[in-house]
A and B are shown apart, each in its own frame.
Chain A
């Protein structure tokens, strides 16, 4: 079985922006074999080291737009011009992992569609909850199967 890392990121204090950490919490509760789960406000440079210790990495974030209930796609390393701490992209993280730690991890982005982002409440909108449920079952099934070779 491949070693899988799921990083759920976003701010749970900003409504649907908390979809990534919410998914991380639910997946972590399953205690799946070979799976590591991380949650944070945003991606950061040090995630590159964690990525390098795994075969597969899934970046789970709230999607402001796009397909509902979620989209799932493979991503590839990309070097942006600058690196901040509020906005390191998944592509930049795997670029750092590859360049600094010789990572060969395959990486995917899971964008769970959210709808409400402008507020200070720690709750998900009803539609986002439904999307989270679908994303949760998808990730759980995928990780249990260990088959990341399908085209998404």
Chain B
């Protein structure tokens, strides 16, 4: 019988969540199989049943301390349907949009400046003693300061629109419960030019990295896939609201302008025995070929244009790289993420100058319904919330498809490709090789806490086993 070994990366560092990568090797260290496992499950969807529907936008924030705003907004959109709010007031919609731009900005900034920049600036093979955010602080302190200050700006926007940092109550069924005061507006306007300058700087950094390392980027964890996101009716990028668009690897439309309330007609979820994370797929293409990617890279691929000038220029450059065809390079997520940061800053400026933010008409109600679906573009991709509510106002059904679940197949393929390209057949497995696997996972910025509907820390680990299942080696760093 041939001997095989298994390497497991557990925990994968600088990733949000509990996860494990296992790599099965034969006796010559050739990769037989590689998988990203999600190793924690707490069943949030079951917990929420029986709760009154108006509590849901607050309760769902317990899912994760990283993207509570995205869950708050997706749940609020679903509950808008329950209370019959067909169209929000301009103030309510714009306050929610401002909240979402603040959320995406702070999340992307954290990921770029503090989680992935050590890999990009020092190299995947660099000494791990240097290849970390504290290495960045030593070598490029101004970059670290920008990361902190931009993230703080986004967090303050969230606080101002959501009411508070913990269990924000800003978005409620049918609208919002506060507007933005002139004092709050002015405090944000004061720093907006600085934010834009830093966003442009970060974009340049991400773009230059991609272009200067094209030989690596075009191969590293790169593979063809379909992509999906919300887009506006005119095809523009829209991070708060729109219809679903999915394209295939060649850029051909699979479906377009689909009302997200009908997502169940287009998307299904598959369960596999070795992971608590489900595997969604596009129904019309079947469970083998129907998997797709979401998130910044997908949004750049699906959007026809961006409605803010600087981000649009950046998108044109981004699309130019692949001559308008979809970009399938996992490492291009970083460049895409920074285009979105710039877009968010531009949208924040636009909104801050809109007097509707000081409007007093905050809530809308209509005919009560019993089923609500809310979809939003979260930092990591399209986020689906689906609820049913009975006549006593209690939630009777809840299903969430979070972004990191949609990217599950893609992350597994990324891990497999990198394991084949960088580990297979090597006589000795080094830390740098294992870091390549982590870099591939990190490109997707997965929040495995959300994916499993669990709470708290989520480290990721690599372990190596022989053919008999005995542990040979274990490498992992808790974050």
- Chain A residues with CB under 8 Å of chain B are 11-14, 21, 38-42, 44-46, 48-49, 79-87, 95-96, 99-101, 120
- With both beta carbons as reference points, the residue of chain A lying nearest to B118 in the complex is identified as A82
With both chains docked as a complex, state the minimum distance between the C-beta of B447 and any C-beta of chain A, in angstroms: 9
- With both beta carbons as reference points, the residue of chain A lying nearest to B479 in the complex is identified as A84
> Given A45-B151, A48-B148, is A86 in contact with B59 using a C-beta cutoff of 8 Å?
no
Complex alpha-carbon distance, A12 and B68, angstroms = 13
Q: CB distance B59 to A13 under 8 Å?
A: yes
Interface: B62 (CB within 8 A): yes
Give the residues from 126 to 152 in chain B that come closer than 8 angstroms, CB to CB, to chain A: 128-129, 132-134, 137, 141, 144-145, 147-149, 151-152
> Given A82-B14, A120-B62, is A87 in contact with B479 using a C-beta cutoff of 8 Å?
yes
Q: CB distance B115 to A49 under 8 Å?
A: no
Q: CB distance A86 to B110 under 8 Å?
A: no
Q: CB distance B134 to A80 under 8 Å?
A: yes
Q: CB distance A12 to B65 under 8 Å?
A: no
Interface: B167 (CB within 8 A): yes
With both chains docked as a complex, state the minimum distance between the C-beta of A67 and any C-beta of chain B, in angstroms: 23
> Given A80-B134, A81-B128, A100-B144, is A86 in contact with B65 using a C-beta cutoff of 8 Å?
yes
Q: CB distance A14 to B477 under 8 Å?
A: no
Complex alpha-carbon distance, A82 and B438, angstroms = 13
* Number of residues of chain B lying within 8 A (CB) of chain A: 43
Overall SS of chain A's interface? loop
Q: CB distance A40 to B165 under 8 Å?
A: yes
A120 neighbours in B (Cβ, 8 Å): 44, 47, 62
Contact of A86 among B62, B68, B114, B449 (CB under 8 A): B449
Q: CB distance A82 to B133 under 8 Å?
A: yes
Q: CB distance B456 to A12 under 8 Å?
A: no
With both chains docked as a complex, state the minimum distance between the C-beta of A115 and any C-beta of chain B, in angstroms: 17
Q: Mark B94-111, 1 if CB is under 8 A from A, else 0.
A: 000000000000000010
- Chain B residues with CB under 8 Å of chain A are 13-17, 44, 47, 59, 61-62, 65-66, 68, 110, 114-115, 128-129, 132-134, 137, 141, 144-145, 147-149, 151-152, 155, 164-167, 449, 455-458, 477-479
- With both beta carbons as reference points, the residue of chain B lying nearest to A40 in the complex is identified as B165
Contact of A45 among B14, B110, B167 (CB under 8 A): B110
Complex alpha-carbon distance, A96 and B477, angstroms = 20
- With both beta carbons as reference points, the residue of chain A lying nearest to B113 in the complex is identified as A45
- With both beta carbons as reference points, the residue of chain B lying nearest to A24 in the complex is identified as B166
Complex alpha-carbon distance, A133 and B133, angstroms = 38
B167 neighbours in A (Cβ, 8 Å): 12-13
- With both beta carbons as reference points, the residue of chain A lying nearest to B129 in the complex is identified as A81
> Given A11-B62, A46-B155, A83-B132, is A96 in contact with B148 using a C-beta cutoff of 8 Å?
yes
A95 neighbours in B (Cβ, 8 Å): 134
With both chains docked as a complex, state the minimum distance between the C-beta of B185 and any C-beta of chain A, in angstroms: 21
A46 neighbours in B (Cβ, 8 Å): 148-149, 151-152, 155
> Given A39-B165, A41-B166, is A83 in contact with B65 using a C-beta cutoff of 8 Å?
no
> Given A45-B114, A86-B65, A99-B137, is A39 in contact with B457 using a C-beta cutoff of 8 Å?
no
Complex alpha-carbon distance, A49 and B458, angstroms = 26
Complex alpha-carbon distance, A60 and B353, angstroms = 38
- With both beta carbons as reference points, the residue of chain B lying nearest to A80 in the complex is identified as B134
A80 neighbours in B (Cβ, 8 Å): 134
> Given A39-B165, A48-B148, A100-B148, is A85 in contact with B477 using a C-beta cutoff of 8 Å?
no
Q: CB distance A81 to B134 under 8 Å?
A: yes
Q: CB distance A21 to B115 under 8 Å?
A: no
B110 neighbours in A (Cβ, 8 Å): 44-45, 85
